[in-house]
Amino acid sequence: MLTNLSEFFSAEQRKMRKNKKIIRNNSKEYIKFLSSQLGERTIRKYDNLNSARYYIKEWFDLYNLNPVENTYIADDHEVANVIAEIKGYEQPENIIIIAAHYDTVENSPGADDNASGISALLEIARILSSSKYKKTLRIAAYTLEEPPYFTTELMGSQKHAIQCKELNENIELMISIDMIGYGGRYCKETYPTEDIKKMSPRYGNYLGVYSLPSYSRFTDLWSDLYKENTNDKIYPFTAPASISGIYLSDHRSFIENGFSAIMISDLGYYRNKNYHTEDDTYNTINYKFLSNNIYNICKTLIALLNSDSL
């Protein structure tokens, strides 16, 4: 019996290593295209922004997810969020949104910010599209998250959140993935406050899950499910919007429109010195760290989708 059990765990470990290797290789392909071949993805570099949009749609199409483009006009240019769904079989009206933005700031190739998040979305689409879940999963790639559109009505996630509100959709939770590829055992980081520094690990070999104090139950829920289904570290952080970084992603748009929302990140500029610079390049990403994060997010998301209630 012990031998059989040992063989079972060995087989599971081999399967896990194989899956993570596939995720790592795929993520390299996505990030190389987005950050190296395209580079800056802004309205100023409109062809690059559009190429990223069509690239994401093609991958969603490949997995038979029937993506839709929610288009609108920003500064006389058509832009679009790219959205796909996996309908729930038991509670289809209950929706979990997993999202990332595909644009960049000017003069940055945006490998970590946020090609790493898009690589997670594309792998979530690939891995989860082969099964069904109790609740509906909506996979959303947003445009125009970065300045000068951040916090404005032209922000892609703001457009989507308003649409969800107008349709009176039951969005149980929105999860923003924003920068998850920069980290490791010897990666140092800074902290917004001494209290957060005291409760944080010394080095940046983990992910954080963030939101405002009102949504601490959701940061705790994600953290608990993550720990139940993986062996890697994640830390929940809640703080008021006055703490820099807590409110700086697409989850903000959903909170402003009355929905529960959290952000998953590698700590952004508190860890990654290349943030919003020309040095946020393909070769600065820790692809082993990234593939672990994506694998763990997939497992946690499946647990969330199959939960009876949040």
The pLDDT tens digits for 111-130 are: 999 999 999 999 999 999 99
Strand runs labelled E in 41-126: 68-74, 77-86, 91-101
Whether pLDDT at 198 is above 90: no
User: Is 5 a domain residue?
Assistant: no
Q: What are phi and psi of 104, to 5 degrees?
A: -130, 175
Q: For residue 4, what pLDDT is reported?
A: 60
Instruction: Identify the CATH number of the domain in which residue 100 sits.
Output: 3.40.630.10
Strand runs labelled E in the chain: 68-74, 77-86, 91-101, 135-142, 170-177, 207-211, 234-238, 261-265
Q: For residue 8, what pLDDT is reported?
A: 47
Angle between helix axes 116-128 and 2-31 (nearest 10 degrees) is 130
User: Is 207 a domain residue?
Assistant: yes
Strand partners, 79: 72
User: Is 23 a domain residue?
Assistant: yes
Q: How far is CA 275 from the centre of its chain?
A: 16
Q: Would you call 243 exposed, middle or buried from its count of C-beta atoms within 10 A (0-12, 13-18, 19+)?
A: middle
Q: What are phi and psi of 238, to 5 degrees?
A: -125, 140
User: For the chain, how many structural domains are there in total?
Assistant: 1
Q: Which residue has the tokens 């457009």?
A: 159
User: Is 8 a domain residue?
Assistant: no
Grade residue 216 by pLDDT with cuts at 50, 70 and 90. Answer: very high
Whether pLDDT at 9 is above 50: no
DSSP strand pairing (135-142 vs 91-101)? parallel
User: Is 208 a domain residue?
Assistant: yes
Grade residue 15 by pLDDT with cuts at 50, 70 and 90. Answer: confident
Domain that holds residue 291: 14-305
The pLDDT tens digits for 74-105 are: 999 999 999 999 999 999 999 999 999 999 99
Task: Please give the mean pLDDT across all residues of the chain.
Answer: 94
User: Is 248 a domain residue?
Assistant: yes
User: Is 249 a domain residue?
Assistant: yes
User: Is 2 a domain residue?
Assistant: no
